[in-house]
Structure 1
Amino acid sequence: EAFKELPSNKIYDELNKDIENSVTGSTSRCDNLSLQNEKSKSFCKKIERNLKDLSTKDKLKNESHNDRCLYFNYWVHDELRKIFNGKTKDDYSNNKDINKLRDEWYHISDGLMKGDVKENYEKIKSKYSINNNNTSQATGNNNNSSGNNGNPISQNFYSVKDFSKHKGCLYNSDCTFYDCDDMKALYDYFKDHDTIENKISAENGSQCKIYHEYVSYIEPIYDKYKDDCCNYGFCDYYNCNDKYDPNELLYKLKNCSEGKDVNSVNPDRTKSEENEFYSRINKRKERFWISAFDENKTGYRYFRCYKKQNSTDPNMPNVASCYVVKTPNKEAFEDVF
């Protein structure tokens, strides 16, 4: 019951609703698909329906397109896990049904985008013809026009956006059957964090205990990806804002589950902030000196500069430093820039 109230769970429930018998047009492609598992065909129909209605679904319409697509990718991943229940990577990569479903996902998305272009083109052509005919009637009757309706539509200028308004949602190739478990867990945690925090009260002791177990599960995954996502690159499933650090939430949930004051200040907070500050500075120094150039040799390094304004404690200094960043396969300078 505690998890049913979380935003991410409500969205996945909506995506996973059964197909209504009256809805046939939106799931016609899947009817002709040859699949070994009967559940696969039912799931294919849900994929097609959800791709078509993704931007208008009640629980998703207020989300950004990027968030809608991430939710959709993680929902697909989780449902495939449930249907096929594989134990190894090969169980999924060699599964014919999974490969067919992914191919069908692409074809459905491609069809939606092409259909959108055709529909918008017809609207523009129709609007152009009406406007052009009105102009011809206003001037041609007086001038004995011989049927010349002005410039054809091909001689007018249009933006790509005039013809393509559909935002596609394609399969995220980074979402492998191992990495995607962690990605989904983190993404859902960041989306559910505020709801969990707002549930913390003396009256919700039993819920706090459940949420404490959940956040305890998230904590090592959060730490595992923090450095790579926040220092070396951008991860669309990770939020680097310090407010989402599980430690503070765990402290409050623990107090709540034990009937203690949920508003008390975590005594380890200041210490952990100081440790975090100096630990980051030391890491920057270590990265720089390890990567320093050999004497009498010329070379290059890639740097990223980092500045953080301390907003939690005015007595703590701000962070400002640069550090060497990794580049895959040690590319040549001209291949990167």
Structure 2
Amino acid sequence: MENAESILEKLTKYKLYDKLDKNDYNTSDCEYCRLVNSILTKHKGASELCCRFAKNLIRLPTILNKESNSNERCRYFNFWINYSISKIISTYDTGTYNINQILTRFLQVHNLIKSQNKHNNCEFEYNRENDLKLWNEWKDLYDYIRNYDGIKDIINSDGNLCKLYSDYFTYITNVYQEYKNKCCYNNVYSLCPYSLNFKEWCNMDKIYTKFPCSENKATVATFQEHNTDLSMKGTHEDVMLHSTSASTLEHNNLASGDATTNNTDIYSKLGISLSFFGLLSTFLYLYNFTSFGTWIRSNILKKKINVNLDDDRQNGMAHELNNDDEKLYNVAYNII
């Protein structure tokens, strides 16, 4: 269901499917598929899927090491392979006979691995009465149950997801009711895989309770889930952002170093000029508006008066000396 994917894609337990989707298989994994490739190669991607199928079955505890329950790991494996096969055949006009041909080829690979005791006690559940549509509905129900608390939190943090949740909830309640009719009331074990303990969900009526949420609530930038995967990712991104900012700042400081050096002389001269004008302004203020100015003016005026008096005395003395010289000249002239 499209709405389900939008709501579940950020949740840690749902992201375990990504580990099963990885193409990190090797030649020995693909060797188990060699005898069935004549059928699988008719459908694009089926041979590669078979290699992943073998790899995941053999190394299931390691690949899903974050899930400690072996029964849950096997459920993940079965839902993953049936969903993956349904995606491949959805691009073809494939009848029921051909679909069962593909499914039985994967069953052959499983039995070969099991014969070597490498299947980790996980059975590939195949029943020709169960179509892939029913498996996908069971997967949707399983994903809702596994991510129950995470769904409740994330739709409360994002109004857009809250809008999608209403249709998602209606779909899940319908699937759950159908599941109860087939696996709980009638005990049709041929339809409900016994080894996966499908009856475990028969009394989980909390599924019928719809979570409250606000469609008008703005999207939260970061979603804090019960698990730590998302918070670890957020921490990593914060560290990367801090490192990038620090690097950029260092680069800018180096780039501006030469310009700072070239401007040093200008700033020094400007500082001296400003200091001079500051002193001049202070002096003018003191001169015009304080007693300091009055004292300066009185002393300068007094000095000026004294200087003028001295000049007058000197002029008078010079005049008297000139008169004396004239008198002496006249006396000398008369004597002659």
What TM-score do you get using the length of structure 1 for normalisation? 0.51
Which whole-Å CA distance do the structure 2 matches of 1:244 and 1:60 have between them? 29
Percent identical residues? 25
Residue 10 (structure 1) shift: 0.8
Higher RCO, 1 or 2 (CA under 8 Å, sep at least 6)? 2
The 8 Å contact of residues 26 and 48 in structure 1, kept in 2 or not, is answered as yes
**What's the Cα RMSD here?**
3.2
| Aligned partners of 2:7 and 2:154 also within 8 Å | no
Give the Cα separation in 1 of the matches to 2:105 and 2:201. 33
Q: Give 1:187 shift.
A: 1.4
Three-state SS of the structure 1 residue aligned to 2:166 is: helix
5+ residue gaps in structure 1? Answer: 117-165, 261-337
Say which of 62, 80, 89 aligns to 1:84. 89
Instruction: Tell me if 1:192 matches 2:147.
Output: yes
In structure 2, distance between residues paired with 1:67 and 1:5: 20
User: Are 2:24 and 1:19 aligned?
Assistant: yes
2:108 to 90, 103, 112: 103
Cα shift readout 1:127-154 (whole Å, capped 9, x = no counterpart): xxxxxxxxxxxxxxxxxxxxxxxxxxxx
Alignment of 1:46 with 2:52, yes or no, is: yes
Return the offset for 1:94. Answer: 5.4
Q: Which residue of 1 aligns with 2:215?
A: 257
Secondary structure (helix, strand or coil) at the match of 1:257 reads coil
Deviation, 1:191, is: 0.9
Within 5 Å, give how 1:1-337 maps onto structure 2. 2-19=7-24, 23-31=26-34, 33-34=37-38, 35=40, 36-57=42-63, 59-85=64-90, 90-91=95-96, 93=98, 96-113=101-118, 166-173=120-127, 175-201=130-156, 203-233=157-187, 236-237=197-198, 239-242=201-204, 244-249=206-211, 252-253=212-213, 256-259=214-217
SS at match of 1:245: helix
Checking the alignment, whether the CA contact within 8 Å between 1:44 and 1:101 is kept in structure 2 is yes
Structure 2 gaps of 5+ residues are 1-5, 219-336
Code of the residue aligned with 2:27 in structure 1: it is T
Aligned AA (2:178)? K
Q: Report if the CA contact (8 A) 1:8-1:192 is conserved.
A: yes
| Secondary structure of the corresponding residue to residue 199 of structure 1 | helix
| Cα distance per residue 1:238-288 (max 9 Å; x no partner) | 624446323332xx13xx22459xxxxxxxxxxxxxxxxxxxxxxxxxxxx
Kindly name which structure, 1 or 2, has the bigger radius of gyration based on alpha carbons: 2
CA separation of 1:106 and 1:76: change in aligned 2, threshold 3 A: same
Letter in 2 for 1:210: L
More helix by share: 2
Corresponding pairs, count: 201
Give, in angstroms, the shift of residue 71 of structure 1. Answer: 1.3
**In the TM superposition, what is the alpha-carbon distance from 1:214 to its structure 2 partner?**
1.8
Task: Compute the displacement of 1:107 (Å).
Answer: 1.4
Which SS does the other structure have where 1:109 is aligned?
Answer: helix
Residues 204 and 220 of structure 1, relative CA distance in 2, 3 Å threshold: same
**How far is 1:204 from its partner?**
1.7
Query: For residue 149 of structure 2, what is the amino acid of its counterpart?
Result: D
Q: Contact 1:11 / 1:60 at 8 angstroms: preserved in 2? A: no
